Chain A
Amino acid sequence: MSDKKEIVDTSVSEKPRLLGVDCGTMNLVLAEQNKENNIEISNIRNMYLPLDKSQLTMAELSNIDYVENDDNIFIIGQNAFQFSNMFGQKVKRPMEKGLISPSESDGIDVLTLIMKQLVGTTYNGHVVYSVPAPSIDMNNNITYHEGVFSRIFRELGYTSESFNEAMAIIYSQCRDDKFTGLAFSFGAGMINLALSFRSVPIISFSVARSGDWIDENVAMSLGTVPNRVTVIKENGTDLENYQIGNKKERRLREAIVYYYREVIRYALDMVTNKLNEESGNLELPESMPIIVSGGTSMAKGFMPLFKEVLSENKDFPLTISDVRHADDPLGCVAEGLLIRGLMKTKTSSEKKNE
């Protein structure tokens, strides 16, 4: 099967598009301004489930989002997640630990089509997309990751630029604090952190423990598969009360709480160490807010647990004015990326007019 050529009529005026796209391990999130001057947010699960064509009939596929070639069907998005539990198979992910996965051979092709489904094609668009900061607890490099996303957006008709994920949270959530704060993005693959003073990143790094790490370790501790843990985690888990559901579920929920606590403690310890290392070189404001976001932070009871673990950290070197959850924990990075794009476009157009 050959790729279908797509021809765009560049002589017809099309509204130029500016997009913010959060390229997360679990979710791809798009932010764009609509005609009513609101921000329109849409997201799609960044995962797929390869199945043999014989496993499903065309009628069964009628309401499912999928990608296909001659032999295989790749169910994409939320449907992949649901079907993986039905078929007892593990979903595949184009990304792993915040970056393009080195192990999935079909991953980038599927990712390209999932991205096309999210942002569409154009010929005069511009995308600001998120990239993680370098990790302090594992070896990684974002050069390849950036190159792949840049190529995907170029093929879809957009120019693109990358921007730090946690700084995007500062842009969207800290306007009233003059873009000063400490942002945590608890994603699936990693936690991204940025300390910003008046929109200038002072410290920025990531750690490779977050939602997936919780799922894998709970699964390992209780002898189940990570998918099953993710479903329990995302459906009705209350981190303040794990005594819900049948006996098996209660055991899973109890383990989930322990690993959530561990992830938060680890992230706060890493910030403490980093700030202590840099303390001689930094001039920080008297106090600043902490902003928490990301899909992993959406579990019920996450914020009380975060505050509890923070209060236990007696060495935390910052005075915190406020600890708050982002307005839209899944969409705030994309929103900040859109604001970044608008700011840069405005600056460059003002320079042109001078």
Chain B
Amino acid sequence: MWRRRDKDKMGIRTTHRELEDFVNSNKNPDNSISDQLKIIMDELSKINNSLDEIKIQRIVSYQNQPSDNYSDNIVKQRSDTPVFIPSVSTNGLTIQAEKLEKRNRKVNLKDSVSDLLDVNE
């Protein structure tokens, strides 16, 4: 959440500069302060909407990813509330390690699970 917020802050800062330029270039001595404020508020609202739109697009694009991965499809449905991970308590120990080697086994998980459910019933 923090990283995301930082990114948003940077985006908003950039847009603020653009907004300032926009307001300066659209300064009209005939406009009242409230008119100018309205223009600014409209622009801010557009920025907020576009940020929300980006968030929604990211979530939808993840959810629409085609997947034939059985566990992926099942686990997606769990959707446990995300937790903010605290530091792992290891009393000052740190680790240096290579990536683990993996081996593959072909197993029809889908059939195993449905057979298990059938037997349980």
Question: Footprint of B on A, CB under 8 Å?
Answer: 1-13, 15-18, 32-44, 61, 63, 65-70, 74, 76-77, 106, 109-110, 112-113, 116-118, 121, 123-124, 126, 155-157, 159, 171-172, 175, 178-179, 198-199, 327-328, 331, 335, 338-339, 342-343, 345-349, 352
Query: What A residues does B31 contact at CB under 8 A?
Result: none
Across the interface, do A342 and B90 meet the contact criterion of CB distance under 8 Å? no
Complex Cα distance A164/B94, Å? 32
Across the interface, do B105 and A118 meet the contact criterion of CB distance under 8 Å? no
Complex Cα distance A3/B95, Å? 11
Query: What B residues does A179 contact at CB under 8 A?
Result: 115-116, 119
Across the interface, do B85 and A8 meet the contact criterion of CB distance under 8 Å? yes
Across the interface, do B100 and A117 meet the contact criterion of CB distance under 8 Å? yes
12 sampled A-B residue pairs with Cβ under 8 A: A3-B89, A3-B92, A6-B88, A12-B58, A39-B107, A68-B93, A69-B91, A112-B88, A112-B89, A113-B95, A117-B97, A346-B113
Across the interface, do B112 and A4 meet the contact criterion of CB distance under 8 Å? no
Complex Cα distance A179/B111, Å? 13
Contact of A16 among B78, B87, B95, B116 (CB under 8 A): B78
| Count of A-B contacts judged by CB separation below 8 Å | 203
| A-B contact sample (9 more), CB < 8 A, given A121-B88, A339-B116 | A1-B94, A38-B107, A42-B100, A68-B93, A70-B92, A106-B93, A109-B93, A338-B109, A346-B74
Given A342-B113, A343-B113, A352-B77, A13-B104 contact (CB < 8 Å): no
Query: What A residues does B102 contact at CB under 8 A?
Result: 40-42
Across the interface, do B105 and A66 meet the contact criterion of CB distance under 8 Å? no
Query: What B residues does A159 contact at CB under 8 A?
Result: 80
Across the interface, do A178 and B119 meet the contact criterion of CB distance under 8 Å? yes
Across the interface, do A199 and B120 meet the contact criterion of CB distance under 8 Å? yes
Query: What A residues does B70 contact at CB under 8 A?
Result: 33, 37, 342
Contact of B106 among A38, A67, A110, A331 (CB under 8 A): A38
Query: What A residues does B94 contact at CB under 8 A?
Result: 1, 4, 67-69, 113
Among B1-9, B20-28, B42-50, the one that faces the other chain is B1-9
Given A16-B78, A65-B97, A4-B87 contact (CB < 8 Å): yes
Q: Give chain A nearest CB distance to B54 CB in angstroms.
A: 11
Query: What B residues does A157 contact at CB under 8 A?
Result: 83, 85
Q: Give chain B nearest CB distance to A333 CB in angstroms.
A: 13
Given A16-B79, A159-B80, A40-B72 contact (CB < 8 Å): no
